Each structure stands twice: as C-alpha cells, then as structure tokens.
Structure 1
C-alpha cells in the first residue's frame, strides 16, 4: 500500500471535507454524552430493545394536561411518529419527530398512553384481545359543547380526541364506530389518518350506554350486537360543507376560519351547531366563535412550531367538515 493510499484512508476516517470532519466530531461528542448520561435507559420501541435518553418537558407548555417527555435515540433506531415506546413498564406514543438541523441523532416528543381501546373485528377483540394503546384528551373545553336533538332541545355533548398508532386494524375503524372510554361510550364522528403520519386522529362524541349491547366491564361497545337507533339521522348526498382558511399559521398570529355550506348546489345561510379544536399540543386559543366563523390565536412559542391543529365543524344534521393547520415559524 502506497503513501497516497494511506493518506486517503486517513482523510476518509477523519472526513473528506470540513463539514464531514465537523459532523464526525459532533457525532462522536453526542455518542459520548449518550453513552454516559444519567437519563439513558433500556426500552423497547415497536418491540425492538434499545437504549434511549429521556428528558422532561416543561408542563407549563401544555397547561399541565399531560406529563410529556422528549426522547433521544441513535440514528440507527427504528423510532418514528406513531411508534410505541415501552419505558418503565408504561406505554408511550411518539407524536412529533423533530427535523434535526445537525442530524447526529433522532429526537421526538412522546405522550403517555392513558387507555386501551377495544372493538370487535370478525367477532374477536382487536389487538389480540388486548386492544390498542391510545392517547385520549377531553376536548369539551374547546367546543361549543352542545348538540341539537330534535328541533328545540339542547343537550350537553362531551368530546374526546383520540390518537391510535396507524396500522391495519386501526385504519379499519369507521366513522360511527362506538368505543368505551372510562366506563362511558363515545362514537367516532371524524377520522384523520393523513395529517400526522404514523398516527390516526379520531374525534369522538359522547353517546348513550346501551347495556343490551355494550360490555362496559370488558371495555367493548357493541359487544352483544349493534345499536338500533331509531333516531338516526339521514344525511343528504346533496350537501357540501367546507371550512375556509389558511392551512399554515405562524406562531403569534390571529386567523379567521369560516364555514361554507352548499345544499342542492346552492349556498346556504345556515351555520354550524358546533366547532371543535383538536389540539393536543395546546397551540391555539379560541378568541371568538359563531355559527358562521371561528377566530383563533396561535400561542407565541417557538416550541409549538411543527404542531398540528385540526378545526372541526358540525351541522345540525350531523355533517362534519375539517381543516388541518400546521404551526410554522414567523420567519
């Protein structure tokens, strides 16, 4: 081996360019920190055993609604949005993976699963009888909180946002599916499998428990059969409902969204009976809302950049429309 070959190998080991050499130095620095930090623990990620480092997240950022964490792993890890992390015998779902400007490692935000969702698939309980780990958050505070029943009566109507890992079984959950959460029954009124890759977002609406068909102790709705709801509403195919507004929102900005309803190919003057904000990161506040529009303000916090918010509207006859918004930097 000649001198030129030896020199070339040494340069490749150190990096062929200034960027490569600095990147290798940065990667070695991270590796040294990762191997020796006190926050490093052995976990499983989607069934694969590996080491990860956990850091606390400031709970003021999400109004103390959940004890979220940051997780850091090596680049070779299989971690991704929607991954299930088992840490200290608890299930955590990966919600947001950060796009690292210096890609020495992977870093993501995780939320602790606070429930298992079960439903029947061909007569068998999903998830091999165990159900699927979910992250569930009460959304009643972010909605008008009422729904019409008949022409004049109004009833309190709780909402939940539910996230499940995206897989063949969870993709099969249809709108209208009933599930048990905390001894109560909720019905899927909206499903979004696109906005957050790896996770499916469901908006749930409170339903009545029917002990003739629901097995509350087992946690499975419609366990003994289907609900025969004589008051089920018929939705016309000649109705189009859209929420109009920006799909990107800068932190600190204020935005207006309006509803557009077309019936029988003609604009309708009616409004919505409900607005709901599916916002697990607590990125926006509702400033004003009527049946025709909703005004929101994005929190002026750079940690909200990359978050996803979904605005959902519902008409009096149960038609649902949505608009997904991504929070971006002001620069």
Structure 2
C-alpha cells in the first residue's frame, strides 16, 4: 500500500494535466482526463477529475477550472484508496429565481447543468381526446443547498429564453445534488422579467403571494429492482392508489432522468415501462430515476443504481 501511494504521488506531482483549480472556493491541485465521447453519445464534454485523498471535494461540489464552472456528479469507490476520482460536467446555464423580493444566490443565481429530456421521451402530451401538443421537458441539476431546497413544485424558471415549470424535484437519488424535472410553459410578460430571465419577477417585487400547488391523496408508486445490471432488460410497474384503495394505473407520461444515457426505453404503457441498460462497464455506479405521471398530474419515481453483472 505504501508503494502504491508513492506511485500515485509521483504521477500526481509530475503529470502534464495537473492544474490549480478551486473546489467550493478552496484552491488545490487536480488532474483531468478526457472521457471518450462515444461513451455518452456526444451529449456533453464530461471529464474525469483526480484529487488527493484529503481534498475538500464531495459529490455536488462546484469546481472552477479554466474560467468555467463544473459540477461533481459522481465519485468512484476506489478499491485501492490512494486518491479520489470523480466525474464532472460543465455547467451550461445560470438559473435565477426570486426569494421574497431578492434574487437567489445574492443576486447572481446558481450555475446549473441542464439536459433536454425531450430527446429521451415522446416530447408531446395529449389535450382533449385527439389533440397532441408539444410538451418539452428538461432535467436541471445543481448543488444541493438550503435555497435550492426551498424551490417549490410549480415554480417557473427561465432556460434558454423559454419558461419551464417545475414538476418534480429530488435530492436523495444523488447525494449532494438536487435535480428537477421541468415542463415547457408560457412566458407571461406581466409576471416575468424577460430581460433578466427571471420568471415571476414582478409577482415577487409586488409581493404577491406565490400560489401553492394543491396536494392530492392520489399516489403513484413505481415498483421494480433498485439495482440494474449493465446489459440487462429491466421492467418497472406503476401502482396507483387513492385513500388506500388501488386504482387502475393511468401513466400518460414516462420520463427517464438519465444524465449518463445509460438506459433505452424498449416499451412503455399506462401500467409500466421496460428499459435496456447499456452493456458498458464505464456506466457502473451511475444513477437513473424513472418518473411516471398520471393523466391528472400526479408523479411517482424510483431511483435505480447501475451495477456490474458479476
């Protein structure tokens, strides 16, 4: 173990890809490795980052590297703990919302990673009996914080000049990261500051009360294995109940929260969904969330960790 640690220290002190960075405001050295773009379907320029064991880094940390902000998404459990290795994604948006009459993040908002989930869902919704309407969805990920946890279901947020409404949030599937599922909404210039890209800005400035999203006794449970082997075919069922009585499942919208593009939808129906997990050892340790929505807007979810077949 002592020899192995010396071997890593020699590499870390002399490698060309070591750079001085900031992790949550703390300056330290790290090394970076490129990720093969074939492994993530060219959706993002992810990197592997290596730091010493005593680093302040944790899942959800913000990393400032080469004038860009990155988010630590996943840390590998090293079998020989001479160092720590994580996967990072570059932040591609700054998200702002109102807290009282003030802009969050001391007026600067928060860097976030945004992914277009419409690429992995149907991207449409039914209206009436036979009308289909565009229904784009985004996944949004940022560091778990007190202010981020205060964001309510139903809040509206600007992304790329458009407004999206928060349908679902989760801070348990990925420790240190809070994730949101958003659905396309309409801009309302009476409420939204388009120039600052802050939704419900004038509502907050005028101190109008933010509408609460009404709770429902109807519940959706997604059942199936909590771990899925790479290369496997896995099925999940939806169970819907209200006031303790089981109802017929009526899932109209399935969404896969899948930042690593691990899963492919094979089949989906009002009662369940079948996924194919990519046969790639680099995906081991990834986490996906399966989210189902009923016709009246009630959500259920299940987090799944990707594991080795052995």
Which category of TM-score, normalised to the shorter sequence, fits these structures?
Answer: over 0.9
After superposition, residues 168-247 of structure 1 pair within 5 angstroms as 168-225=146-203, 237-247=216-226
Tell me the residue number matched to 1:317: 296
Deviations 1:197-236 (A, max 9, x none): 110011111111111111122021000117xxxxx99867
Q: Does the 8 Å contact 1:83/1:94 carry over to 2?
A: yes
The aligned residue for residue 300 of structure 1 is: 279
Give the CA deviation at 1:269. Answer: 2.4
Distance 1:38 1:236 in 2: 55
Question: Is residue 2:42 matched to residue 1:64?
Answer: yes
Q: TM-score, normalized by length of structure 2?
A: 0.94
Q: Distance in 2 between matches of 1:238 and 1:321?
A: 13
User: 1:43–1:50: 8 Å Cα contact kept in structure 2?
Assistant: yes
Q: Runs ≥4 in structure 1, deviation > 4 angstroms? A: 232-236
Deviations 1:65-118 (A, max 9, x none): 000000001111101110111000000000001111111111100000000110
Q: CA deviation at 1:151?
A: 5.3
- What secondary structure, in the 3-state scheme, does the structure 2 residue paired with 1:225 have? helix
Describe how 1:46-85 pairs up with structure 2 within 5 A: 46-85=24-63
> 1:1-331 maps to which residues of 2 (within 5 A)?
23-150=1-128, 152-225=130-203, 237-331=216-310
Partner of 2:33, secondary structure, is strand
- Displacement of 1:266: 3.2
Per the alignment, in what secondary structure is the counterpart of residue 10 of structure 2?
A: helix
TM-score by length of 1: 0.88
Question: 1:254-295 CA distances to partner (integer Å, 9 max, x unpaired)?
Answer: 011111112354332242110000100111111111122110
Counterpart CA distance in 2 for 1:281 and 1:106 is: 20
Task: Tell me, in whole angstroms, the C-alpha distance in 1 between the residues paired with 2:147 and 2:290.
Answer: 26
Q: CA offset at residue 154 of structure 1? A: 2.9
Distance 1:69 1:311 in 2: 25
In structure 2, list runs of 5 or more residues that go unmatched: 205-210
Task: Work out whether residues 157 and 163 of structure 2, in 8 Å CA contact, stay in contact via their aligned partners in 1.
Answer: yes
SS at match of 2:12: helix
Q: Distance in 1 between matches of 2:202 and 2:263?
A: 41
Q: Name the Cα RMSD after superposition.
A: 1.7
Q: Kindly indicate whether the alpha-carbon contact (under 8 Å) linking 1:55 and 1:71 is maintained by their aligned counterparts in 2.
A: yes
